[in-house]
Amino acid sequence: MIGAALARARLSGRITGSSVARFIIELPKDPTHGDYATNVALVMARDEGKPAREVAAAIKNELAASDEFSEVNVGGPGFINFRMAPKFWHGQLRSAAEGAQAFFLPKLGSGKRVQVEFLSANPTGPLTVGHGRNAVLGDTIARLYEATGFEVTREYYFNNGGRQMKVLGASVRARYLEALGEKVEFPEDGYQGQYIRDIAADLVNRHGRALVAQTDLETFRAPAEQVIFADIHRTCERLRVHFDVYTNELDLIAQGKVADVMAELGRRDLLVERDGAVWLRGEPLGLPKDEVLIRSGPEREPTYRTPDIAYHIDKLKRGFDVIVGVFGADHIAEHKTVLAVLKALGHSTAAIKTVIYQFVTLTRGGQKVKMSTRKGEYITLDQLLDEVGADVARFFFLMRKSDSHLDFDLELATRQAPENPVFYVQYAHARLASVFREAQKAGVALPNDPAAIQLELLSEEEIELGKRIVRFPEVIVECVEEIEPHRLPFYLIELAGEFHRYYNKSTNRIIGTQIELSLARLFLAGLVKQALKHGLTLLGVDAPERM
C-alpha cells in the first residue's frame, strides 16, 4: 500500500526520487498512535532534499483516500502512523481463514538448511533442570524453523573424553570396589549421586569380582556412559525432544580432525609451547589471554575447546545456511575463542548464530532448591517432569528471554488455576473447543466461503481480538529471525487473556439467537482457536479439547 502511494506521489511530482531506502513497518510503542507506523519518510528525506515531515505529508496525501485506513497522520520527526479501518481487518481475517496453515506459518526458509545443536550434556549424570531449559530452547527453535519451511537437523555434541570422563570412570570403579567390600578411597571430586552406585551394582551383577584388579578407567567409563546416555534418551523422550545426529569428542579425535586443527594453527604461528602444554596465542586473535589447547603430561590430552573447534569446522563444511548453537552462560568465553580461531583459519562465521541462556533457579514455597551435580543433591529433570509434566515444564522454560535468569516456581507450576499461564492458555483452547461442540449441537456451521460471513457485524472489541490473531504470523517471523522463542508464549498468554475477557462478558454469547452474528463470532472464535493450537504445537505443548 505504501509502495503504491509512493508511485502515485512520483507521478504527481510531490516525490522526485526514483528509489526507496529500506524502511520498516512496525507496531507503535504507544498503541494510541495507531495500529502500524513506518519510518519511510525518514529514510527518504535525505535523497528527497526535504524535511522528513514534508515527505511524510506527501505520502499521507496519497494514502488518505483509501477506505482501508480510518486515520493516517504524521507524528514526531516524520513517522507515518496508521489506524486501519474495519474493512482492512475483515480482509485480513478472511485471508487468515482462506490461507489456513500457510497464513499462520509463513514459509521463510524454502530450500535452506539449518543445524541446531542443543542440550549436548556430557554423559556424566542424569539431566538436570538447567539441561531442561537448554533442551526446550533448542527443540522449540528447531520446531519454529521446521514450521516455516527450513530443512532442520537437530544435533547433540558431547565430550566423552578428557578429565570429566576419567572422574566418572574413577567414581564408578570406587563404588564397584566398595560394593564388593574392598577398601577404597573415593575420588575427592568424584560423582556421588545414587546413579553411580546403581551403575556399579550392575557391574557387580554382570562381572562379579572379575574387575577388581582392573585399573584401566575405560573399563568403568564406557559402561557408565552407555547407561547414562540411555537415561538421557528416556528423559528427552518424556520432554518431547529428539535428535537426528550425535557427534562426540573421541570420534573427532579418532578421525584426525583435532590433529588437523592443531597442525593448521601451528602453520599459522598461533601456537606456543609453555610449561609442557600447547597454548593458543590469544593476542594475534584479539583474545584477552592465551588458552591451553593441549594439556601437559604424558597423555597430551586436548582441552575441551580443542575438539570443539574441530566440531565447528565440521559443521561449516556440511554446508548449512544457518548454524544455531544453544549454550549456557558459562560457555560464553569458550565460544568466543572458538569463533576467533575459525576466523583465523579462514572460515566465515556468518552462518553461526549463538543462543546463550542463563541458568534456572528452582523454588518451592519461596525457598531456593539447591542443585549440585557432583554431590548428587539436586532435582533431576525427570523429577521435575514427574511433578509438573512436560507441558508445564516446556512452557515455563520458555517464559523468559534466554539470556535472562529463570525462576521456576514449582507451586505456580502445579496450580490448576488462571495464575498458571500454561493452564490459562490451554483452558482458552479447551473453551473454544467447547464452543464448537455447542455450535454443532445447535446446528450452526460455518460456510466454506469466508466471504459469505458478515464480519461487519463484529463489534470494536471483537475487531481488537481479530487484530491479535492477525499478529500471529508476525510473531512467528520475529521468533525465527531473532531466534527468540520466548516471544511466542508471551503472545499466547496475551491472546488467551483477551479471549477470556471477551468470553466472560454475558453480552458476548457466541452462539445466540441472531444466526448471522453467531456465524461471525464463530468464525472469529475459530481463528483464535487455530492461533492457540499452532502456537502451543510449536512450543511442544498439548492443545487440549477438554479440561
How many other CB atoms are found less than 10 A from the CB of residue 172?
29
Q: Is the pLDDT of residue 367 over 90?
A: no
Region 341-347 average pLDDT:
97
pLDDT digits (tens, 9 = 90+) for 243-297: 999 999 999 999 999 999 999 999 999 999 999 999 999 999 999 999 999 999 8
> Cβ distance 547 to 427 under 8 Å?
yes
Q: State the fold for domain 118-254+358-414.
A: Rossmann fold (3.40.50)
* pLDDT category of residue 374 using cuts at 50, 70 and 90: very low
What's the CA angle centered on 219, arms 217 and 224, to 5 degrees? 90
Burial class of residue 237 (count of CB atoms within 10 Å of its CB; 0-12, 13-18, 19+): exposed
SS3 377: coil
pLDDT of residue 371: 56
CA distances from 275 to 279, 288, 304 (A): 10, 20, 19
| Residue 514 clears pLDDT 90, i.e. is over it | yes
pLDDT above 70: residue 166:
yes
Confidence of residue 93 (pLDDT cuts 50, 70, 90): very high
Place of cell 569428542: 249
Tell me the average pLDDT across 537-547. Answer: 97
What mean pLDDT value characterizes the chain? 93
When pLDDT is averaged across residues 197-205 and rounded to a whole number, the result is: 96
Q: Which three cell numbers mark 116? A: 541446531
The confidence score (pLDDT) of residue 334 equals 92
Short-list 69, 81, 85, 86, CA closest to 30: 81
Intrachain domains 2-84 and 118-254+358-414 with the same fold: no
What's the pLDDT at 160? Answer: 87
Q: What is the CATH number of domain 417-538?
A: 1.10.730.10
Confidence of residue 67 (pLDDT cuts 50, 70, 90): confident
The full length of the chain comes to: 547
* Domain-wise residue ranges, the chain: 2-84, 118-254+358-414, 417-538
The side-by-side arrangement of strands in the sheet containing 113-117 is 245-248, 151-158, 113-117, 322-328, 352-357
Q: What is the DSSP string of 415-447?
A: --STTSHHHHHHHHHHHHHHHHHHHHHHT----
Confidence of residue 22 (pLDDT cuts 50, 70, 90): confident
Q: What's the average model confidence in pLDDT over 98-112?
A: 92
Fold of the CATH domain 2-84: Gyrase A; domain 2 (3.30.1360)
Nearest-angstrom CA–CA distance, 410 and 427: 20
Quick one: average pLDDT of 18-31? 82
Task: With CA atoms as reference, report the closest residue to 169 among 190, 194, 198, 192.
Answer: 190
Mean pLDDT of 334-338: 94
How sure is the predictor about 368, in pLDDT bands with cuts at 50, 70 and 90? confident
Phi, psi of 529 (to 5 degrees): -60, -45
Does residue 362 or residue 261 have the better pLDDT? Answer: 261
Task: Enter the pTM of the model.
Answer: 0.92
For 256, phi then psi, to 5°, come to 80, 5
Looking at per-residue confidence, does 522 or 28 come out higher? 522
Q: Which pLDDT belongs to residue 377?
A: 58
Percent of the chain with pLDDT over 90: 82
Give the type of residue at 201: A
| Rounded mean pLDDT, 429-435 | 97
Query: In Å, how far are 287, 336, 440 from 269, measured between CA atoms?
Result: 15, 20, 75
Q: Would you state the cell numbers that stand for residue 28, as one nine-digit string?
A: 507503535
